[in-house]
Amino acid sequence: MTRLSAVDFAMAKPSPKTEKKTADKTVGKPFPKGVSGNPKGRPKKGTTWKETITRLTNQARIDETDENKRKVLVKALIVKKQIELALAGDKHATKFLAEREEGMPRQSIDYTEHDPDEVVEIGFKGEAESE
C-alpha cells in the first residue's frame, strides 16, 4: 500500500462510487426565487390533553338533566361524583375538591437556619490585610 502526500491526495481522481454520490447532490439554491421548499408549511399540532379535556367537560350530557330539565355539563357531573366520594370518606376526593376550591397550599421556606452573625470575608491572593 503506497502512501500519498497531501498534494497527491488532493490531485487524485475520485473513485467511481464517490463521483456518483457527489453528482446527485445539488449545489447552490435548489428552489427558484419566490418558491418555498415547504409549501404546506409546518404540520398542525395535535390536540393537547388540556384542550381535549376542556372540550369534553364543557359538553352537555343528553341523558342527564337537572331538576329544571336542563342539560348538565360533564364537569358538573364529575364534581358531583367527587362530592359523593368525599362524603363517603375518600381522602383523595376530599383533597381534589379542597385544592380546586381553596387552591394549592403554599409551601413556606425558612431562611433563618444559618447564623446571621456569620461573616465570610473574601479577598484576592497577595492582598495584605489592613488590620
Examine residue 124 and state whether it is found in any structural domain, yes or no: no
Q: How confident is the model at residue 129 (pLDDT cuts 50, 70, 90)?
A: low
Quote the mean pLDDT of the chain. 76
Tally of residues, the chain: 131
Examine residue 88 and state whether it is found in any structural domain, yes or no: yes
Q: Name the residue range of residue 99's domain.
A: 72-103
Examine residue 125 and state whether it is found in any structural domain, yes or no: no
- Spatial separation of the C-alpha atoms in residues 121 and 127, rounded to whole Å: 12
Examine residue 66 and state whether it is found in any structural domain, yes or no: no
pTM of the predicted protein model: 0.41
What are phi and psi for residue 130, nearest 5 degrees?
-90, 0
Q: Report the amino acid identity of residue 14.
A: P
Examine residue 130 and state whether it is found in any structural domain, yes or no: no
pLDDT value of position 43: 83
Examine residue 58 and state whether it is found in any structural domain, yes or no: no
- Domain count of the chain? 1
